[in-house]
């Protein structure tokens, strides 16, 4: 039909390098991985690991914080790989992203029920409630940048959704990194303030997604 289009097809098919299987997953992993390295460096400069880190690694709470954040980030990362393809739907995995939170929330409620009312304030607010979400937001930013870089080279077609999921992945990763520096020890604190931090990065990703993830 069109001469120009025919020429284009000729030139496109003149050079067709082989594409390795798993290229999408590798790129997403690379973006998130480089971002996570950035987050760790940021955390080390800003706070450094908590001073009692040697003892903390023996406590379940340390691993619960790390586990909650990392699991959320990881599930979102898998979901992000899916959304990097045109026409993809999130499917059941989307609900699974909330599973770690549900677990932590249950645990938080269980602790609150057992505790005397005088202890509520300390359990809910810790000593860093107001700072925690903001720190997670900032520490999550390098990961968000990495996710955006990865996605721009792929082909997401639902940009706001992809941005939102990139935000969850970045927020989860950022919170996991921050968990190494944070010495809060209550499950309710984790359920509220870590989640608030992850939600902050998620909101940023969702808002910026339709602009930042646009590809030509």
Nearest to other proteins of 7, 52 (CB atom): 7
Query: Distance between CA atoms of 206 and 160, rounded to whole angstroms?
Result: 5
Examine residue 8 and tell whether it contacts other proteins (CB under 8 A): yes
Of 115 and 155, CB closest to other proteins: 155
The single residue among 119, 155, 199, 203 that binds other proteins, judged by CB under 8 A, is 155
Judged by CB under 8 A, the chain residues 66 through 85 that form the site for other proteins are 84-85
Give the contact letters, 21-40, x = binds to other proteins (CB under 8 A), - = no: x-xx----------------
Give the C-alpha separation, 167 to 36, whole Å: 13
Selection from 53, 54, 27, 47 nearest residue 153 by Cα = 27
41: left (phi over 0), alpha (psi -120 to 50) or beta: alpha
Residue 179 and residue 66 in contact, taking contact as beta carbons nearer than 8 Å: yes
- Provide the 3-class DSSP secondary structure of residue 19: coil
Q: Where do we find the tokens 């808002």? A: 207
Stretch that binds other proteins, among 16-24, 49-57, 95-103, 190-198 (CB under 8 A): 16-24
Number of C-beta neighbours around residue 160 at 10 A: 16
Whole-angstrom distance, CA of residue 48 vs CA of residue 36? 15
Q: Which of residues 86-105 bind other proteins (CB under 8 A)?
A: 86-87
Residue 216 CA to residue 195 CA, distance in Å, equals 34
Query: Which residues in 123-152 contact other proteins (CB under 8 A)?
Result: none
Among 11-19, 67-75, 92-100, 168-176, the segment contacting other proteins (CB under 8 A): 11-19
Choose which of 1, 45, 54, 113 interacts with other proteins (CB under 8 A).
1
Number of residues located near other proteins, criterion CB under 8 A:
29
Enumerate binding residues for other proteins (CB under 8 A): 1-2, 4-5, 8-10, 12-21, 23-24, 84-87, 154-155, 157, 214-216
């Amino acid at each position: 039909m069109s001469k120009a289009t025919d020429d284009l097809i000729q030139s496109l098919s003149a050079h067709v390098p082989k594409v390795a299987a798993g290229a999408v997953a590798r790129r997403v992993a690379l973006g998130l991985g480089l971002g996570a390295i950035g987050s760790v460096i940021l955390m080390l400069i800003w706070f450094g690991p908590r001073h009692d880190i040697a003892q903390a690694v023996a406590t379940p709470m340390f691993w619960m914080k790390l586990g909650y954040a990392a699991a959320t980030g990881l599930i979102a990362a898998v979901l992000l790989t899916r959304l990097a393809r045109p026409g993809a739907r999130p499917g059941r995995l989307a609900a699974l992203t909330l599973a770690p939170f549900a677990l932590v929330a249950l645990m938080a409620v269980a602790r609150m029920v057992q505790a005397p009312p005088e202890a509520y304030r300390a359990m809910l607010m810790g000593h860093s409630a107001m700072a925690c979400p903001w720190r997670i937001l900032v520490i999550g930013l390098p990961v968000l940048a990495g996710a955006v870089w990865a996605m721009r080279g792929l082909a997401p077609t639902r940009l706001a959704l992809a941005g939102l999921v990139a935000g969850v992945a970045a927020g989860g990763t950022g919170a996991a990194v921050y968990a190494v520096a944070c010495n809060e020890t209550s499950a309710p604190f984790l359920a509220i303030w870590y989640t608030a931090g992850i939600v902050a990065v998620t909101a940023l990703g969702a808002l910026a997604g339709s602009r930042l993830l646009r590809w030509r």
